[in-house]
């Protein structure tokens, strides 16, 4: 597997490196490799924003590789006394940490940390920029479901594209892996430059779902929206939500993904979230194997 110092985003990652990461994740997922590559090393989770899946998943992955995990959060830390991100990261690195996994509300925060410390840095989500390990675990979940074949599959990515770092990481990874992408959402949540990136763009959900092999529903990020970007939750669900009726009209083998946390009844109905097509919990399960592969690549 190609070694790299940091993983700050998936933009520009060669297809061969993406495929190596997916293959290595698969080896972890299938229990074909169990090395404690991080034995005696310390991995730090530095999360300035809340997380259920990513932080826990990195913790389980790092512990599975034999690392000691240091979990840092804003609450109870000296960030609440005004210590900067860079000072915090430098002090955590000075503890002898090998890898800092950072989540921050500002785009570029992980790159800033990477420029400031001597250890490896993994971006666990920076503002509206990227969430590379999520993009990889989404790609892996589809790769695994489809027997390692992503080329020419059609994936619809639906919802709050504007604020979504998950959408950006998926765009870079899935496009590089040969997937045909269609992005869909209200006009106010679709970045204007999307159509220049070699993907289809539509505001009509039924157009996006037509022929889709997979549908990735994105969370409405109320915390990042500075104004009302659609009239009401009920109207959003009616026009851009994956309702039970819409899910029933998908191709028989089509699958549904969501990075979580899910706003039930807004992006998709509870019946779809918990239904036969849903890979939502499998995404979480696969995240551990993918993060083991990522940790190994940067260590
Ligand atoms: N998908 C994701 O990033 O979830 P968390 O915010 O719970 O980490």
Task: Examine the domain organization and report whether 139 and 127 are in the same domain.
Answer: no
Task: Examine the domain organization and report whether 244 and 149 are in the same domain.
Answer: yes
Asked whether 259 lines ligand 1 (CB < 6 A), one says yes
CATH number for the domain harbouring residue 293: 3.40.50.1370
In a domain, 6, yes or no: no
Long-range contacts of 186-191 (CB under 8 A, 24+ apart): 186/229, 186/230, 186/236, 186/239, 186/240, 188/162, 188/229, 188/230, 189/159, 189/160, 189/161, 189/162, 189/163, 189/229, 189/230, 190/161, 190/162, 191/161, 191/162
Q: How do residues 37-96 score in pLDDT, each as one tens digit?
A: 999 999 999 999 999 999 999 999 999 999 999 999 999 999 999 999 999 999 999 999
| pTM attached to this predicted model | 0.96
Asked whether 260 lines ligand 1 (CB < 6 A), one says yes
Q: Which residues of the chain have pLDDT under 50?
A: none
Domain that holds residue 216: 132-283
CA of 260 to the centre of ligand 1 (A): 6
- Check residue 224 and give its pLDDT: 64
- Check residue 86 and give its pLDDT: 98
CA-259 nearest atom, ligand 1: 1
Task: Examine the domain organization and report whether 140 and 203 are in the same domain.
Answer: yes
CA of 140 to the centre of ligand 1 (A): 16
Q: Residue 61 belongs to what H/E stretch?
A: helix 53-64
- Check residue 1 and give its pLDDT: 81
CA of 53 to the centre of ligand 1 (A): 5
Number of domains comprising the chain:
2
- Check residue 294 and give its pLDDT: 98
Q: Residue 285 belongs to what H/E stretch?
A: helix 280-298
Rounded Cα distance, 118 and 237, in Å:
46
């Amino acid at each position: 597997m190609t070694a790299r110092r940091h993983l700050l985003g998936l933009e520009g990652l060669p297809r061969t490196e993406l495929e190596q990461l997916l293959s290595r994740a698969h080896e972890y997922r299938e229990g074909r490799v169990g090395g404690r590559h991080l034995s005696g090393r310390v991995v730090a989770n530095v999360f300035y924003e809340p997380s259920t899946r990513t932080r826990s998943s990195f913790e389980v992955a790092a512990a599975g590789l034999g690392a000691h995990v240091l979990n840092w959060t804003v609450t109870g830390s000296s960030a609440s006394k005004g210590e900067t991100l860079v000072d915090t990261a430098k002090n955590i690195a000075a503890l002898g940490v090998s890898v800092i996994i950072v989540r921050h509300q500002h785009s570029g925060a992980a790159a800033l940390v990477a420029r400031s410390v001597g250890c490896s840095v993994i971006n666990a989500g920076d503002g509206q920029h990227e969430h590379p390990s999520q993009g990889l675990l989404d790609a892996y979940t589809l790769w695994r479901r489809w027997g390692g074949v992503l080329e020419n599959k059609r994936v619809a990515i639906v919802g709050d594209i504007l604020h979504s770092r998950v959408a950006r990481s998926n765009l870079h990874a899935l496009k590089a892996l040969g997937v045909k992408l269609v992005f869909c959402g209200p006009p106010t949540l679709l970045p204007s430059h999307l159509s220049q990136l070699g993907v289809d763009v539509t505001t009509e959900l039924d157009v996006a779902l037509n022929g889709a092999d997979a549908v990735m529903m994105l969370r409405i990020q109320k915390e990042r929206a500075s104004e009302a970007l659609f009239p009401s939750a009920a109207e959003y669900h009616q026009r851009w939500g994956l309702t039970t009726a819409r899910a029933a009209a998908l191709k028989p083998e089509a699958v549904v993904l969501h990075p979580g946390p899910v706003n039930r009844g807004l992006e998709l109905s509870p019946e779809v979230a918990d239904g036969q097509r849903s890979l939502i919990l499998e995404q979480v399960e696969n995240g551990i194997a993918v993060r083991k592969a990522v940790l190994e690549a940067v260590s």
